[in-house]
Amino acid sequence: MSQAALETTGPAFEAGRPVTAGEPLLALRGVGIGVRRRRRASEIVRGVDLEVFPGQKLGIVGESGSGKSLTVLSVLGLLPDPPVRLLRGQITFAGQDLGTLDDRGLARIRGAEIAMVYQDPMTSLNPLLRVRTQIVETLRAHGAPRDAARARCREVLNQVGLQEPERVERAFPHELSGGMLQRVMIAMALAVSPRLLIADEPTTALDVTIQQQILELVEDIQARTGMAVVWVTHDLGVVARIVDQVVVMYAGRVVEKGPTRTLFAHPSHPYTLALLGSLPHQGTLHRQPLTQIGGTPPDPARLERGCPFRSRCPFAFDRCAQEEPPLIERGPGVAAACWKSPDEWKSPDEWQK
Ligand SMILES: Nc1ncnc2c1ncn2[C@@H]1O[C@H](COP(=O)(O)OP(=O)(O)O)[C@@H](O)[C@H]1O
Ligand code: SF4
Ligand SMILES: [Mg+2]
């Protein structure tokens, strides 16, 4: 960036800036996020690199507490500061460094370019306002005339497959079921035609059938609009069908990344192997854990030396206690943070002891 650009004050974000061929829509480079607890500060998300290309669907997967939500919140400048804040790294959207934007610039991106849906729809919905008012006001804030905003509101409520959109429009949030609220939240997110949708476990609280419907809905909208999607979940099985790239997080770090198919067929990190072990069997609806991951993940604020997965890893050897492995390339577009390559692992029977 030129010196002149650095000296410019105020929001510099150029809305709708096209992405040149081969350039990611969203890129995180070396992102580190810190937390201050009592008097102790620690880096709970470390060295996160990830990229989302236009139209791509990326899954961020890992057990609860692995840093998924903080990672995506950092993109939008929404970290709960204090006590959590971005310590290092660069986040770019459509080639522009989001770190150079002020609050207004970031708010503009949140509204118009990147939309987010959460596990709890009430995080984004106001309980005191009718659904229509909320969607229309969002659109008005982005400059849409009232009539156009109302028409767009009806259109997106139709798009998310709500029966009786007229009734939903007039409803207050408490008058709707969990699945309907989730659809309303997605409609609200889509109303401004974002280039990127970030979904942070939006189906976790829903029953399996509704979960499936929401997944299909996002898949369908994605296919029609070509927006990029980042889907955050603790359940690898949920994203398997809808994402083309997966990033696996453990204790605040990326431990494996790669194309979904490769990751499923040939996992390169023992943790990914363990996550796959609890996938439902093909052809059955019941979950049949082949292997349970014993133990619990470490607190990312209190990591010891070495590989953070070693206390749960049946393949650990001396070096794992000494040095933390970096991400090592294991194939085209595949990298994993493990000292051992998969052909050095013992038989997966080891997992069943
Ligand atoms: N507001 C907060 N204050 C202190 N620690 C936090 C806060 N939010 C998250 N953390 C800690 O950061 C780590 C990662 O959290 P999070 O990103 O929410 O994980 P995930 O979304 O993968 O479940 C956890 O260990 C959690 O305890
Ligand atoms: S580095 Fe060692 S402890 Fe860590 S996942 Fe690989 S084998 Fe297991
Ligand atoms: Mg989370």
**Lining residues, ligand 2, CB within 6 Å:** 270, 307, 309-310, 313, 315-316, 320, 325, 338-340
Atom 5, ligand 2: which residue's CA is nearest?
A: 338
Smallest Cα–Cα separation from 245: which of 57, 5, 40? Answer: 57
Atom 6, ligand 2: which residue's CA is nearest?
A: 338
Q: Report the nearest atom of ligand 1 relative to the CA of 201.
A: 21
Measured from the alpha carbon of residue 204, the closest ligand is 3
Q: Which domains does the chain have, with CATH numbers?
A: 24-113+194-352 (3.40.50.300)
Residues with CB under 5 A from ligand 3 (ion): 69
Smallest Cα–Cα separation from 240: which of 215, 213, 210? Answer: 215
Residue 121 CB contacts under 8 Å (≥ 6 apart), including other chains: 173, 178, 181, 182, 184, 185
Checking DSSP bridges between strand 253-259 and strand 328-331, what pairing results, if any? unpaired
Q: Please give the Cα distance from 58 to 115 (Å, whole number).
A: 15
pLDDT of 177 reads 92
What pTM was computed for the model?
A: 0.90
**Lining residues, ligand 1, CB within 6 Å:** 35, 44, 62, 64-70, 80, 83-84, 299-300
Smallest Cα–Cα separation from 68: which of 325, 351, 300, 309? Answer: 300
β-sheet bridge partners, residue 41: 36
Q: Residue 10 is encoded by which pair of tokens?
A: 């105020």
Q: Is 305 left (phi over 0), alpha (psi -120 to 50) or beta?
A: beta
pLDDT of 1 reads 38
How many angstroms is it from 249 CA to the middle of ligand 2? 14
Q: Where are the alpha helices (DSSP H) in 142-230?
A: 146-159, 165-170, 178-191, 208-225
Distances (CA, A) of 138 to 106, 130, 132, 316: 16, 13, 10, 52
Q: Which residues of the chain have pLDDT under 50?
A: 1-11, 279-290, 348, 350, 352-353
pLDDT in tens, 305-353: 999 999 989 899 999 999 999 999 999 999 999 999 999 986 545 454 4
Best of 250, 313, 343 for a ligand 2 pocket test (most atoms within 8 Å of beta carbon): 313
